Amino acid sequence: MSARVRIVGLLFVVVAIAVGALVLSRGPGRAVVVPSPRTPVYPDLISVPLSDFLVGTEERTAVEQLRFTSTIANIGPGTLRIDGRRTDGSDQGWTVVQWLDEPDGQPSGRITGANLVFGGHGHEHWHLKFGASYRLQAVDEANEVASQTKAGFCFFDQIRVDPEVAGAPTDRRFLAESCGERGSTAVEMGMSVGWSDPYFWQLEDQSVDITGLPDGEYRLTAQADPDDWLMESDETNNATWTDLRIGTLDGGLRSVEVIGASGE
């Protein structure tokens, strides 16, 4: 490489920094500038109260799992929009950008610390790694007795939760297909204002292991974006909890009863 080419490349980087932007490579000969946030309109992710509680026992291992449905919704004024890029189909490291809406119509964004992980168990697409965590503890104690970190979320519009939220579209704008396939080098995912993405109790990672857990009262907490990768308008409402009474029926089967929940 000549000295002149090196100097031109250096000047390009300096200019990008001067205007408050990052340059994200999109493959040979292509790049996109990620302007730094100015006065963005943020999304607001919340964990909807948990539901569909039951206890299942794995026949082969005899492991008892407390299963449940969890849902993340966007009730903020801005759209959740995530863009993942990698150099080729074998690269395990993704560059993940959260794009943000700006009042002037020109988007801004930032590169997050997140990575993508390829799903399985019927979810053959890419997920934002560790999009939620679940924690079980005794109601009268702070000690954690069981936990689960969900492998990831392919965020998309599944169920419209609040038509009254300003700016909520009537039709889905983000679909599961945009989360790509195994060989993809670019994926997009997100959640429109007023829409939610439930993960039902039958799915992988929608459980905590309660094998040998004594009967009693426990609190199950779900936390969206536990690693704080995403920029939101409100960072204090990402968690929800439900108090449960776990018991044992005649014949040894476990039971679960809801006795309280956040927001009640």
Tell me the chain's radius of gyration from C-alpha atoms.
22
**Lookup: tokens for 93:** 């490291």
Residue 176 is classified by DSSP as G
Which H or E element spans position 21?
strand 21-25
Question: Does pTM surpass 0.75?
Answer: yes
Spatial distance between the Cα atoms of 217 and 203, rounded to a whole number of angstroms: 25
Bridge partner residues of 31 (DSSP): 25
Residue 193 is classified by DSSP as T
CB atoms within 10 A of CB 254: 19
Is residue 28 exposed (0-12), middle (13-18) or buried (19+ Cβ within 10 Å)? exposed
Bridge partner residues of 190 (DSSP): 81
Predicted confidence at residue 23, as pLDDT, reads: 53
CB 150 within 8 A of CB 199: yes
Task: Quick: pLDDT tens for 110-142.
Answer: 999 899 988 765 568 898 887 678 999 998 877
Predicted confidence at residue 151, as pLDDT, reads: 63
Spatial distance between the Cα atoms of 105 and 213, rounded to a whole number of angstroms: 53
Predicted confidence at residue 28, as pLDDT, reads: 40
Write out residues in the chain with pLDDT < 50, as ranges.
Answer: 1-19, 26-30
CB 77 within 8 A of CB 193: yes
CB atoms within 10 A of CB 102: 17
